[in-house]
Amino acid sequence: MFMIVGLQMAVGAVTLLPVALFLEWGQPIHLSGKLAFAFIYTVIAPGILATWLWFMLVHRIGAVRAATYHFLSPFFGVAIAAIILGERFGVTDVAGALIVAAGILMVQRSKLPASGA
């Protein structure tokens, strides 16, 4: 299964390479500790760790139940932006998160079979 994900990432990288070269040609790259940290974080956190956690979750609770957690992505995006970038985190954000959490709870408590990956 990891082979398929790796292949998808490789195809995406090769496909986007000409576009990136065209749009970024001639732009200077300033090597720094921040750039290295950002690159390493991007490879490890969403590239390796999140993919591994996803497959563990699918194996444990099934694809349908695991897929419901994708609906938390916007909430975590807003929450992280509020913490790191100082973005506004308002009542509507909390209300949306509660609605999403209720939907996830309903799916998790339903009579879906645990397997199906």
Q: Please tell me the distance from the alpha carbon of residue 53 to that of residue 14, in angstroms, as a whole number.
A: 25
**Residue ranges making up the domain that contains 104:** 33-109
Label residue 85 by pLDDT band (50, 70, 90). confident
Q: Does 4 reside within a domain?
A: no
* Rounded Cα distance, 31 and 47, in Å: 21
Number of alpha carbons in the 13 Å side-chain half-sphere of residue 88: 4
User: Is 63 within the bounds of a domain?
Assistant: yes
User: Cβ of 115: how many Cβ atoms within 10 Å?
Assistant: 11
Q: Is the pLDDT of residue 5 over 80?
A: no
| Domain-embedded: residue 43 | yes
What pLDDT score was predicted for residue 18? 95
Q: What is the DSSP letter of 111?
A: -
Among residues of the chain, what percentage have pLDDT more than 70?
92
Is 88 part of a structural domain of the chain?
Answer: yes
Domains in the chain, number: 1
Q: Is the pTM above the cut of 0.85?
A: no
* Position 115 in a domain: no
Assess whether pLDDT exceeds 60 at residue 40.
Answer: yes
Q: Is residue 53 situated within a structural domain?
A: yes
pLDDT at position 66 is 84
